[in-house]
């Protein structure tokens, strides 16, 4: 599942721009739901596989996002905000994916710090540690991108400021995959 499934939902949404709004909302919503949960599960399984708290938070996140998406598709929790037709799911989704990516960056930076100590002792390779450093950098870029996008969407900043971040993220997206 994961990233591959998200790509199919996004491709379908992009190939059929004339689709009814409900179909478009469902495709984009399912894509972002899958992306957020794939990222969350990946970080959980890599960094905190035995944590009951992280498992519980993930379950609550999945239930909350799924419920909000279903209610948005039913026509509840939708409205015209700041010139854009969107729902409560969109708002919560932005916070959820940004918080998940920030968590991934923090965990990667902490793991990189631990690996640097192991490198000094000859217990790890520098190339392996560099991957975690790059993941933490990419996570910071993703979080900054969402901050710019969120600010621009609400009129505090123009989306023109978000374009350099979007370009950086597109060029370095392979680090996350």
For the stretch 144-157, pLDDT in tens is 877 777 665 554 44
How is residue 32 written in tokens?
Answer: 């972002």
pLDDT of 86: 61
pLDDT of 50: 94
Whole-angstrom Cα distance, residue 111 to residue 113?
5
Q: What is the tens place of the pLDDT at every residue in 111-132?
A: 999 999 999 999 989 999 999 9
pLDDT of 77: 60
What's the pTM? 0.73
Q: Tell me, what DSSP letter sits at residue 1? A: -
Q: Indicate the Cα dihedral angle 92, 98, 100, 105, nearest 10°.
A: -170
Burial of 119 (0-12, 13-18, 19+ CB in 10 A): middle
């Amino acid at each position: 599942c994961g990233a591959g499934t998200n790509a199919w939902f996004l491709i379908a949404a992009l190939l059929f721009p004339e689709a009814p709004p409900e179909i478009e909302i469902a495709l984009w919503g399912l894509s972002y739901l899958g992306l957020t949960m794939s990222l969350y599960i990946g970080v959980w399984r890599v960094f905190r596989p035995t944590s009951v708290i992280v498992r519980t938070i993930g379950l609550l996140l999945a239930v909350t996002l799924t419920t909000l998406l279903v209610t948005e598709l039913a026509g509840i929790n939708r409205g015209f905000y700041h010139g854009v037709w969107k729902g409560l799911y969109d708002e919560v989704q932005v916070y959820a994916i940004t918080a998940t990516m920030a968590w991934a960056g923090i965990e990667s930076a902490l793991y990189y710090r631990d690996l640097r100590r192991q490198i000094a002792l000859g217990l790890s390779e520098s190339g392996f540690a560099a991957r975690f450093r790059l993941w933490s950098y990419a996570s910071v870029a993703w979080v900054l991108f969402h901050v710019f996008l969120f600010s621009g969407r609400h009129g505090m900043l123009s989306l023109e400021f978000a374009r350099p971040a979007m370009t950086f993220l597109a060029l370095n997206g392979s680090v996350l995959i």
